[in-house]
Amino acid sequence: MVTSATLYNVLHWLNFTVDIRNVCVFLAPLFSSLTTIVTYHLTKELSNPGAGLVAAAMISIVPGYISRSVAGSYDNEGIAIFCMLFTYYTWIKAVKTGSLSWSVICALAYFYMVSSWGGYVFLINLIPLHVLALMISGRFSHRVYVAYTTLYCTGTILSMQIPFVGFQPVLTSEHMGALGVFGLVQLHALVDYVKTKMSTEDFNVVFQSVISTAVVLLLGVAAVLTFSGKIAPWTGRFYSLLDPSYAKNNIPIIASVSEHQPTAWSSFYFDLQLLVFLFPAGLYFCFANLSDANIFIILYGMTSVYFAGVMVRLMLVLAPVMCILSGIGASTLLSKYMKGLEASSPPSAGASEKKAKKSDPQSFLRHEISLAFVAMMTFMFVTYALHCTWVTSEAYSSPSIVLSARGHDGSRIIFDDFREAYNWLKHNTPEDAKVMSWWDYGYQITAMANRTIIVDNNTWNNTHISRVGQAMASPEDKAYEIMRELDVDYVLVIFGGLTGYSSDDINKFLWMVRIGGSTETGKHIKEADFYTPQGEFRVDKEGSPTLLNCLMYKMCYYRFGSLYTEGGKPPGWDRVRGAEIGNKDFELDVLEEAYTTEHWIVRIFKVK
């Protein structure tokens, strides 16, 4: 936000009257181009410029990253990935040179990262992990000491300036790793220093006593603080990171977000394609040529693979490292085989001509193999490029707010219902009207309709969302009480029964039930009540009466019962669920239909 405002102001100061909207739309592509440059430099530091080029070329089209950086995806992640890679780059630089200036730049980059995305926690755990790995592998040096101490002190103080972060870096357990490593670094440096001044035997005695007391002391303090509540316990999101099934069992609100679902294997291939295969090769080359920097990228690669496997959303963190490691892998392999190709390529002087004639058959075969390998790599790169453009155009380019479908004659039909409804809300409801909808649409309503909403995508209060879920899942009279309590004027639901838009509120309804029932006030709402005795979720006559009479059902299917949706089917045929609805011809007692869009996708009801 600050970034786009700065850009906007600078441009306006230069009399470039760019609309703030355009600044926002093109911010993500701008930053993704910067990401490409940073990727090049980062990979160059890790390996060589060739690998850097390959990695930069790969990240420029990798779908996993494009999904967040297409024009118009004005999201924190767009900037955050750039910040993250930039922080890594400066970190590697700092570790390599041990210079204060690089460490401070790194801290500044980290500050920018903290201000842009909550995912900075990954970074502040990865860097200490790197330091720890360096210490364990005996690669600890003054350079690392300088880099980490500077980064931790400056970075932490800077990050505490962000209101959202506040005192978390010293209070929550997510940040404790960094603090612990900071202490260890000091100890290690001290030990190294003492070692140079003492004889070995004396040193061993001192070492053991100091270390054991320090460890006991640290553990004791940590335990006391944790139990006294000074250090906040781990939040649910992080438990779900460590244990993929945690969220499903305990916090339905986290599990309900599709981005927080565990990743399917196919989506790895879908988002990364060739990189999936080149990644292990790159990893191998990093191991083969172990250095301080390579250890870092190995750690980054391993942890992010794990996290991406836990949460679809973190594919974003994985994509850059996939590109970097694949870049290293591809470049090393190619340069190896290109050499084989070059050595036996057309001779430049008479001397080598003789040599070629004399060369043994093995070398001859080597040429052929090299040729085959290079051809294969070229083919794979070409398919990678094709795949990436295909994925981008198919999956990540279409706006989610304007839906399109193909008509029977192949022409394009546009469903612009969302904007229709939001625009209606904006112009034809009182300015202080409060709109209740499921939280997915919160941001859209705020931005496009400029109306107060009850819950939105950033609602932290779990019980609040739960209350909305309870309202949706209750019969009309109960729901009315809740709506009065929440001071709701309008209720908005998304309904795909007429068009076949499948991510509508009825399909999300079970999550509302689960979330609604997950808190104290919603104890009476049980998921089982909404299933048929056979355990099915049905909207037709067989469906459970609880479902057929709850507010959500009634709002979605109000007057739908007499509508013909498809030829040859009875009226009230739901095209998403493929069923004739079970409860027709009812009237709403506490609500009245305020507006329904052209294709019935958005329905707005007014609370009487």
Binding region for other proteins (CB under 8 A) out of 506-514, 520-528, 534-542, 560-568: 560-568
Residue for token digits 């700065």? Answer: 6
Give whichever of 405 and 414 is closer to other proteins, judged by the CB atom.
414
Give whichever of 17 and 200 is closer to other proteins, judged by the CB atom.
17
CA dist 197 and 561 (Å) reads 89
Shortest distance, CB of residue 504 to other proteins, whole angstroms? Answer: 16
Confirm or reject binding of residue 71 to other proteins (CB under 8 A).
no
Four-point Cα dihedral 192, 197, 201, 206, nearest 10: -60
Shortest distance, CB of residue 448 to other proteins, whole angstroms? Answer: 5
Work out which of 416, 456, 540, 580 binds other proteins, going by CB under 8 A.
416
Give whichever of 513 and 607 is closer to other proteins, judged by the CB atom.
607
Shortest distance, CB of residue 18 to other proteins, whole angstroms? Answer: 9
Site string for other proteins, 446-485 (x = CB under 8 A): --x-------------------------------------
Q: Write the DSSP assignment of 356-418 as a string of letters.
A: HHH--HHHHHHHHHHHHHHHHHHHHHHHHHHHHHHHIIIIISS-SSSEEEE-TTS-EEEE-HH
Shortest distance, CB of residue 600 to other proteins, whole angstroms? Answer: 6
Long-range contacts for 22-30 (Cβ within 8 Å, ≥24 apart)? 24/74, 25/71, 25/72, 25/74, 26/71, 27/3, 27/74, 27/78, 27/79, 28/68, 28/69, 28/70, 28/71, 28/72, 28/73, 28/74, 28/75, 28/78, 28/79, 29/69, 29/70, 29/71
Shortest distance, CB of residue 419 to other proteins, whole angstroms? Answer: 5
Shortest distance, CB of residue 218 to other proteins, whole angstroms? Answer: 41
- Residue 15, by phi and psi: left (phi above 0), alpha (psi -120 to 50) or beta? left
Confirm or reject binding of residue 423 to other proteins (CB under 8 A).
yes
CA dist 11 and 538 (Å) reads 55
Shortest distance, CB of residue 91 to other proteins, whole angstroms? Answer: 23
Shortest distance, CB of residue 147 to other proteins, whole angstroms? Answer: 21
Shortest distance, CB of residue 491 to other proteins, whole angstroms? Answer: 13
Long-range contacts for 261-265 (Cβ within 8 Å, ≥24 apart)? 261/311, 261/312, 262/309, 262/310, 262/311, 262/312, 263/308, 263/309, 263/310, 263/311, 263/312, 263/315
Work out which of 82, 422, 490, 509 binds other proteins, going by CB under 8 A.
422
Confirm or reject binding of residue 559 to other proteins (CB under 8 A).
yes
Confirm or reject binding of residue 17 to other proteins (CB under 8 A).
yes
Confirm or reject binding of residue 141 to other proteins (CB under 8 A).
no
Confirm or reject binding of residue 346 to other proteins (CB under 8 A).
no
Determine contact, residues 91/296, Cβ cutoff 8 Å.
yes
Residues 6+ apart with CB under 8 A from 162: 114, 115
Confirm or reject binding of residue 430 to other proteins (CB under 8 A).
no
Shortest distance, CB of residue 195 to other proteins, whole angstroms? Answer: 30
- Residues, the chain, total? 608
Residue for token digits 């707010």? Answer: 401
Work out which of 196, 351, 461, 520 binds other proteins, going by CB under 8 A.
351
Shortest distance, CB of residue 599 to other proteins, whole angstroms? Answer: 9
Confirm or reject binding of residue 349 to other proteins (CB under 8 A).
yes
Determine contact, residues 482/525, Cβ cutoff 8 Å.
no
* Binding residues with other proteins: total (CB under 8 A): 32
Confirm or reject binding of residue 257 to other proteins (CB under 8 A).
no
Q: Is 540 helix (H, G, I), strand (E, B) or coil?
A: coil
Site string for other proteins, 577-606 (x = CB under 8 A): ---------------xxxxxxx-x-----x
CA dist 135 and 344 (Å) reads 46
Three-class SS of 36-74: HHHHHHHHHHHCCHHHHHHHHHHHHHCHHHHHHHCCCCC
Confirm or reject binding of residue 192 to other proteins (CB under 8 A).
no
Q: Beginning with the edge strand found earlier in the chain, give each strand of the sheet holding 602-607 in spatial order.
A: 452-453, 434-436, 490-494, 602-607, 591-596
Give whichever of 152 and 422 is closer to other proteins, judged by the CB atom.
422
Q: Write the DSSP assignment of 453-494 as a string of letters.
A: ES--TT---HHHHHHHHHHHHSBHHHHHHHHHHHT-SEEEEE
CA dist 434 and 453 (Å) reads 5
Q: CA-based angle 332:337:338, to the nearest 5?
A: 95
Shortest distance, CB of residue 146 to other proteins, whole angstroms? Answer: 19
Work out which of 424, 446, 459, 538 binds other proteins, going by CB under 8 A.
424
Work out which of 22, 249, 428, 502 binds other proteins, going by CB under 8 A.
428
Q: CA-based angle 381:383:389, to the nearest 5?
A: 105
Other C-beta atoms closer than 10 Å to the C-beta of 116 total 24
Residues 378-407 that bind other proteins (CB under 8 A): 402
Shortest distance, CB of residue 438 to other proteins, whole angstroms? Answer: 20
CA dist 243 and 559 (Å) reads 45
Residue for token digits 């730049």? Answer: 105
Work out which of 419, 464, 508, 538 binds other proteins, going by CB under 8 A.
419
Confirm or reject binding of residue 413 to other proteins (CB under 8 A).
no
Q: Which two tokens stand for residue 241?
A: 């990171």
Confirm or reject binding of residue 199 to other proteins (CB under 8 A).
no
Shortest distance, CB of residue 349 to other proteins, whole angstroms? Answer: 7
Give whichever of 259 and 592 is closer to other proteins, judged by the CB atom.
592
Give whichever of 365 and 414 is closer to other proteins, judged by the CB atom.
414
Confirm or reject binding of residue 74 to other proteins (CB under 8 A).
no
Work out which of 197, 406, 408, 427 binds other proteins, going by CB under 8 A.
427
Give whichever of 250 and 352 is closer to other proteins, judged by the CB atom.
352
Work out which of 205, 372, 405, 414 binds other proteins, going by CB under 8 A.
414
Work out which of 163, 229, 346, 350 binds other proteins, going by CB under 8 A.
350
Shortest distance, CB of residue 328 to other proteins, whole angstroms? Answer: 24
Q: Which residues of this protein are in contact with other proteins, per CB under 8 A? A: 15-17, 349-351, 354, 402, 414, 416, 419-420, 422-424, 426-428, 448, 559-560, 562-563, 592-598, 600, 606
